[in-house]
DNA sequence: CACTGAAATATTTTCGAATATAGGGTCTAC
DNA sequence: GTAGACCCTATATTCGAAAATATTTCAGTG
């Protein structure tokens, strides 16, 4: 029943329209840094890159506007949102606020199922290598997914769809900075210990300690990005 | 230098493109309740309503998707976002969190200019009638603007562009509920006293008292909406 | 030589037609 | 009488060309 008689074009699951497909790809390309911050997103250029017409491209761009991944000016077109130290600082600060709230609520509503979901997410993450290669750093998509799941697990019990959605949006924005930094300076910190600390504090029920560990983790992320040699600022910031 | 030689079509200031114009109008119509929650936003219907082509309509709809004012499903088109008691509760809770943070930061960074902006905003608001008519309630756009300015004044000093933008987004979403409720039950509470309290507490420097007054104000807004007789829920909620 | 103004070019934005899909109704087969 | 498949219509989506706008180039003037 879930799978209908899909026809010709539908090679993707979930988003049959071209606009949605372009949206997903473009979003990925921006977050991964495949298209540089501040880069002009001309219609013809994108039309060629994804081999589609103008309409779906425009549709995708307008959706990304919402997420602050692209910026726009009437009659002048779209750009990839710029990056900057100021913006990164603001972003991390916002994450601290939002995730602190979500974490406190989640812990207040703690249930065995919630705790188990964290343990499970940690276990899976810890068994997956940070880098696809053992000698030098290489992007490992599997780890990236598990990492996101792990962090979301803490917040997922907060009971507020809006707050959770907002946290995820901010996490995506951070991801862009992180990917950009990683593409420059390889040796990522070993985050294993930090993640274990986060889990232990959250499961211990000590709210203040858990919040403090969370803040420290976020701040460290910011510092690593800033010290990665990533050239900042570049282009207009969207907000 | 700021004002260029604008040409023919530019009767509006700020947003010369048709898409932006439609975006503004449609946004207004949804917030005012001129188009009901859950209502189908068919392409032809909108094309006729605003007397434009398909492209600008679609562009506007995709932008509104970001603000959760419309919802969308692939191949099934757009709807005005639904409303519901659950969603209203979540919305107000989120506003409490976000505005509490912004208020605390604003007060921590307090300056004479900031305090003066609040006094000024209060004065202007207090001199403007809530209703356009003195006998029965009628929407007064002037008051609405001043009301928004007043509430924003408290938060504007928080120093975080993201947080401020987020608070404004939530305020817009609340406004839709408030307008819908107002269109049913006329006699709005006299908010004057509450606003004075908010101002006094904020200017006194007593952070905890100011936060408490703020929360109370938001909660009261929610209760009034719920008891207005507004039929809930209706249509799918966007989040 | 700098500066104004206007043609030329590149790009964005918009339109209307063409295509693909969803939802409903009907007709047959069992 | 009901279930299933098929067609038909209404609608969403997409395309490529046309119109509007920004940007660059270049000639002419003070």
According to the model, what pLDDT value does residue A3 have?
33
With 90 as the cut, is the pLDDT of residue A11 above it?
A: no
With 50 as the cut, is the pLDDT of residue A4 above it?
A: no
Same domain? B76 vs B98: no
Q: Is position B92 within any domain?
A: yes
Strand C reaches within 7 A of the A58 CB: yes
Which residue carries 């939002």 as its tokens? A98
Question: Whose C1' is closest to the CA of A73: which nucleotide?
Answer: C12
Q: What is chain B written as a DSSP string?
A: --S----TT--SSS--SHHHHHHHHHHHHHHHTSS-TT-EE-HHHHHHHHT--HHHHHHHHHHHHHTTSEEEETTTEEEEPPB-HHHHHHHHHHHHHHHHHHHHHHHHT--HHHHHHHHHHHHHHHTS-SSSSSSS----HHHHHHHHHHHHHHHGGG--HHHHHHHHHHHHHHHHHHHHHHTT-------HHHHHHHHHHHHHT-HHHHHHHHHHHHHHHHHHHHTTT----BSPPP-
Select from A17, A161, A239 the Cβ nearest to the Cβ of B161: A239
Last residue of a domain, one of B61, B80, B99: B80
Same domain? A173 vs A197: yes
Select from B16, B63, B93 the Cβ nearest to the Cβ of A65: B63
Q: Which residues pair with B78 in a beta bridge?
A: B41, B72
What is the mean predicted confidence (pLDDT) over A20-42? 94
Residue–nucleotide distance: A4 CA to C29 C1' (Å): 24
Residue–nucleotide distance: B6 CA to D29 C1' (Å): 26
Disruptive mutation site among B94, B170, B171, B215 for chain A (greatest number of A CBs within 10 Å):
B94
Q: Is position A9 within any domain?
A: no
CB B22 within 8 A of CB B56: yes
Tally of domains in chain B? 2
Same domain? B121 vs B39: no
Same domain? A96 vs A42: no
Same domain? A151 vs A164: yes
What is the mean predicted confidence (pLDDT) over A166-173? 96
According to the model, what pLDDT value does residue A231 have?
76
- Say which residue, A185 or B35, is predicted with more confidence: B35
Percent above pLDDT 70 for chain A: 89
In A 74-133, which Cβ lie closer than 7 Å to strand C?
Answer: 74-78
CB A102 within 8 A of CB A155: yes
Please give the Cα distance from A126 to A70 (Å, whole number). Answer: 34
Q: Is position A64 within any domain?
A: yes
Q: Is position B47 within any domain?
A: yes
pLDDT class of A234 with cuts at 50, 70, 90: low
Strand C reaches within 7 A of the A162 CB: no
Range name among A11-15, A70-74, A166-170, B219-223 with the lowest pLDDT average: A11-15
According to the model, what pLDDT value does residue B239 have?
65
In B 48-107, which Cβ lie closer than 7 Å to strand C?
Answer: 52-56, 59, 75-76
Instruction: Tally A–B CB contacts below 8 A.
Output: 61
Same domain? A95 vs A46: no
Q: Is position B3 within any domain?
A: no
What does pLDDT average to in each consecutive run of 10 residues of chain B (239 residues)?
A: 33 66 96 92 94 96 94 94 94 98 97 96 93 79 92 97 96 92 72 90 96 95 86 68
Distances (CA, A) of A216 to A89, A100, A123, A148, A222: 14, 12, 22, 17, 10
In A 36-55, which Cβ lie closer than 7 Å to strand C?
Answer: 40-44, 54-55
Same domain? A48 vs A142: no
Contacts of A16 in chain B (CB under 8 A): 74-75
Supply the ipTM of this predicted assembly: 0.87
Q: Is position B137 within any domain?
A: yes
According to the model, what pLDDT value does residue B15 have?
57
Last residue of a domain, one of A26, A59, A80: A80
Q: Is position B75 within any domain?
A: yes
Same domain? B176 vs B222: yes
CB-based burial label for B177 (10 Å; 0-12, 13-18, 19+): buried
Q: Is position B99 within any domain?
A: yes
According to the model, what pLDDT value does residue A49 have?
95
Closest CA to B202 of B124, B122, B92, B143: B122
With 90 as the cut, is the pLDDT of residue A58 above it?
A: yes
According to the model, what pLDDT value does residue A6 have?
34
Same domain? B59 vs B122: no
CATH number of domain containing A107: 1.20.120.530
Question: Whose C1' is closest to the CA of A17: which nucleotide?
Answer: D13
Q: Which positions in chain A have a beta carbon within 8 angstroms of at least one beta carbon in chain B? A: 15-17, 20, 55, 58-59, 62-63, 65-67, 74-75, 90-91, 93-94, 97, 101, 160-163, 165-166, 239
Closest CA to A147 of A86, A195, A99, A198: A195
Last residue of a domain, one of A37, A62, A80: A80
Same domain? B110 vs B29: no
CATH number of domain containing A60: 1.10.10.10
Domain of residue A199, residue span = 85-226
A195 min Cα distance to partner chain B (Å): 26
Same domain? B104 vs B146: yes
When the pLDDT of each residue in chain A is averaged and rounded to a whole number, the result is 88
For A113-149, what is each residue's pLDDT tens digit? Answer: 999 999 999 999 999 988 888 777 777 889 989 999 9
Same domain? A215 vs A128: yes
Q: Could you tell me which residues come within 8 angstroms of residue A144 by beta carbon, excluding any fewer than 6 positions away?
A: none
With 50 as the cut, is the pLDDT of residue A14 above it?
A: no
- Check CB contact under 8 Å for B160 and A17: no
Whether a cis peptide bond, with omega within 30° of 0, leads into B217 is no
């Amino acid at each position: 029943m879930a799978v209908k008689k899909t026809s010709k074009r539908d090679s993707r699951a979930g988003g049959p329209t071209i606009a949605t497909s372009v949206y997903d790809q473009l979003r990925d390309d921006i977050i991964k840094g495949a298209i540089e911050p501040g880069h002009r997103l001309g219609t013809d250029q994108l039309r060629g890159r994804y081999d589609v017409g103008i309409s779906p491209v425009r549709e995708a761009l307008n959706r990304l506007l919402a997420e602050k991944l692209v910026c726009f000016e009437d009659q002048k077109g779209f750009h990839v949102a710029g990056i900057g130290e100021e913006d990164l600082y603001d972003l991390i600060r916002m994450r601290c606020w939002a995730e602190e709230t979500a974490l406190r609520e989640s812990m207040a509503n703690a249930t065995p199922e919630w705790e188990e979901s964290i343990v499970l997410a940690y276990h899976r993450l810890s068994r997956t290598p940070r880098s696809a290669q053992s000698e030098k750093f290489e992007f490992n998509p599997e780890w990236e997914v598990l990492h996101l799941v792990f962090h979301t697990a803490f917040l997922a019990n907060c009971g507020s769809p809006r707050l959770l959605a907002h946290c995820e949006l901010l996490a995506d924005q951070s991801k862009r900075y992180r990917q950009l930094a990683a593409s420059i300076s390889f040796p990522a910190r070993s985050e294993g210990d930090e993640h274990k600390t986060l889990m232990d504090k959250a499961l211990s029920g000590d709210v203040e300690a858990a919040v403090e560990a969370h803040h420290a983790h976020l701040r460290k992320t910011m510092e690593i990005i800033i010290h990665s040699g990533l050239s900042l600022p570049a282009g207009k910031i969207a907000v």
